[in-house]
Structure 1
Amino acid sequence: MKKILLVTASMIALSATAASAADLAARPYTKAPPPMVAAVYDWTGFYIGINGGWGQSHDNRTVDGIGQAGSYDANGGTVGGQVGYRWQTGGWVWGLEAQGNWADFSGSTGNVLVPGGTVRSKTDAFGLFTGQIGYAWNNVLLYAKGGAAVTDRNYQFLAPGGALASSTGFDTRWSPTVGVGLEFAFSQGWSLGVEYNHIFEDTHGATFVTPAGVAVAGFHTGGDTDMVLGRLNYKFGGPIIAKY
């Protein structure tokens, strides 16, 4: 009788163990969640874009041995484009850029030396060739730039009544330039920015020519230029990097 009870108890224990094992095998497997991924924007690559904004050029017109003929600011709008390349190492970003713009920075004032006369000028184009250094916080880039600028300005004297008395024609001049900008990448390749530029043109000697072709020397004219530009760029290559 005892043997029968022992066998029965053993069979019950084995059945319970098998049932427990079956229950364990039936439990579903839960996969661990993937690690968090942070997207990091890479500023490396060629880019091309457009820009537009406002600028102001100063003109301080003087005549040697006589004095000032007029001083004023010529201002207006500008639109153009840029192309460049940037390299990013860690948070630091370096770049090279060429920019060309049409402009309409124009202004005038009365001629102090000729009552009723006018001193007038206009900047109709400029180019910037600069290097950049900046620091990026992911998709936000703050940078400084510097290099050379070329400007195309026309200086004039108008006689009383408005007739052209003399002009420098197209006065193309190279000058140093510096600037600073802030750029925000809002999608793959596309970025928006705002930029300030200063051109150190300063005053310089100039020869004016009358409509009859007579050259008149002894003048100094010109001055620095300031600009505020909005920019839209598209960058080729250098995709967003997944950082774990």
Structure 2
Amino acid sequence: MKKILLVTASLLALSATAASAADLAARPYTKAPPPMVAAVYDWTGFYIGINGGWAQAHDNRSVTGLGTVGSFDANGGTVGGQVGYRWQTGGWVFGLEAQGNWADVSGSTGNLVVPGGVVRSKMDAFGLFTGQIGYAWNNVLLYAKGGAAVTDRNYQFLAPGGVLASETGYDTRWSPTVGVGLEFAFAQGWSLGVEYNHIFEDTHDATFVVPGGIGVTGFRTGGDTDMVLGRLNYKFGGPVIARY
């Protein structure tokens, strides 16, 4: 009888062990959670935008044999637009851009040679055609730019009673330009930025026309232009890239 009880207890123990093993095998498999995804902004694509800000254009007017007759800074506002294309490789961003602006950058000073006379100038438009190179930290882009600028300015001498002489029409000139900018993408396709540009206009020979249509030579006028612009761009294509 004792042997029978021992055999029965052994069989019950084996059954319990087998049942436990079966329960363990039946447990469902739990998949590991996916890795975290980081969204990286892609600056590649065409963009269009608007800009506005402040500009200062220097004018150093001189006459051969007399020296400087007036030197001043013309100041004023400007507003315009830009269109361009950028492409990104790694953290580096390259681009091409064309920009056109209306401006009201004017100034004047007293004529050092003609008592009561005035020397004045005004820039009413400019364009920038530049290449860009920059580096992006996700949605923040720092870049430098350089290329050509075209400016439209008018230079005048005023006698005490009115206009004495004016450079023929508006003087449209091409000059080198450089700049630097910082841009921040705040939504899909949208970015805000600030930009500084310098135009190397320097001084140039000028002919002024007095009443009666007589041209008078021997003048030099003009000077460099500096500007600070705020910008808003919208980029087409180039979605945010998801990286693991």
Normalization by structure 2: what TM-score?
A: 0.94
What's the Cα RMSD here? Answer: 1.6
- 1:129 shift after superposition: 0.4
1:1-244 alignment, distance < 5 Å: 1=1, 4-21=4-21, 23-24=23-24, 27=27, 29-161=29-161, 163-168=162-167, 169-244=169-244
SS in 1 for 2:43: coil
SS in 1 for 2:17: helix
Structure 1 gaps, min length 5: none
- 1:3 shift after superposition: 5.9
Structure 2 gaps, min length 5: none
Code of the aligned partner of 1:167 = S
Moved >4 Å (runs of 4+): 25-29
SS in 1 for 2:5: helix
Percent identity between the two aligned chains: 87
- 1:44 shift after superposition: 1.0
Code of the aligned partner of 1:144 = A
SS in 2 for 1:114: coil
Code of the aligned partner of 1:210 = V
- 1:21 shift after superposition: 3.8
- 1:233 shift after superposition: 0.8
The 1-side partners of 2:102 and 2:19 are apart by 85
- 1:225 shift after superposition: 0.2
The 2-side partners of 1:30 and 1:122 are apart by 75
The 1-side partners of 2:114 and 2:135 are apart by 53
Normalization by structure 1: what TM-score?
A: 0.94
The 1-side partners of 2:106 and 2:212 are apart by 25
The 2-side partners of 1:211 and 1:33 are apart by 85
- 1:15 shift after superposition: 3.6
Code of the aligned partner of 1:164 = V
The 2-side partners of 1:96 and 1:108 are apart by 36
Q: Deviations over 1:55-107 (max 9, x none)?
A: 00000001112221100000111011111111111111111110000011100
- 1:184 shift after superposition: 1.0
The 2-side partners of 1:14 and 1:65 are apart by 120
The 1-side partners of 2:208 and 2:138 are apart by 53
Number of equivalenced pairs: 243
SS in 2 for 1:186: strand
